[in-house]
Amino acid sequence: MSLDELFTEIILDHYQHPHNHGLIPNPTFSSRGYNESCGDDIQVSVLIRDGVIADAKFSGAGCSISQASASIMTDLIKGKTVDEARQIAGRFYEMVKGTEGDYGEEMGDAISLQGVSKFPVRVKCATLAWHTLEEALAKGDHER
């Protein structure tokens, strides 16, 4: 598998036409993450109502992998509970680390990032948005 093959149509489409791009005006939580090895810089904001992620957006700049991953992630976590979003993040880390498993429907377009596991340097790009999301959600933990 070459690096070119990693850039599937799904990844390129999310990069060129990102979903949920922007900032939520009054987010419940937000966080900003950097990936120094690549220069990716992502801000993730979430709006939580009754324990459910009612809205999620991202902004910032970075490589196609980091931006596509953020676009896919915000699609996946909308409508999920905070705990469900964390479970999906955990599954995503397993997947891009190359852990064998059945990553089915629950992962949606994130499946297209499975090939990142072959390129350890790019794993940081793929997981940046997810780690930033977890940081944002962790800000709510003391309120429980």
- Catalog residues that contact Zn ion under the rule CB under 5 A: 38, 40, 63, 66, 125
Q: By C-beta, is 40 or 134 nearer to Zn ion? A: 40
Contacts for 25-28: CB closer than 8 Å, 24+ residues apart: 27/57, 28/140
Taking the least distance from each CB to Zn ion, the nearer of 10 and 52 is 10
Residue 65 CB contacts under 8 Å (≥ 6 apart), including other chains: 6, 11, 113, 116, 122, 125, 126
The distance of closest approach from Cβ of residue 11 to Zn ion in the complex, given in angstroms and rounded to an integer, is 12
**Choice between 24 and 65, CB closer to Zn ion:** 65
For the bound state, the minimum distance from the C-beta of residue 67 to Zn ion, rounded and expressed in Å, comes to: 8
Distances (CA, A) of 121 to 7, 47, 60, 63, 72: 15, 31, 20, 12, 20
Q: How far is the CB of 62 from Zn ion (least distance, A)?
A: 5
CB of 112 to Zn ion, least distance (A): 16
Q: Which is nearer to Zn ion, 31 or 127 (CB)?
A: 127
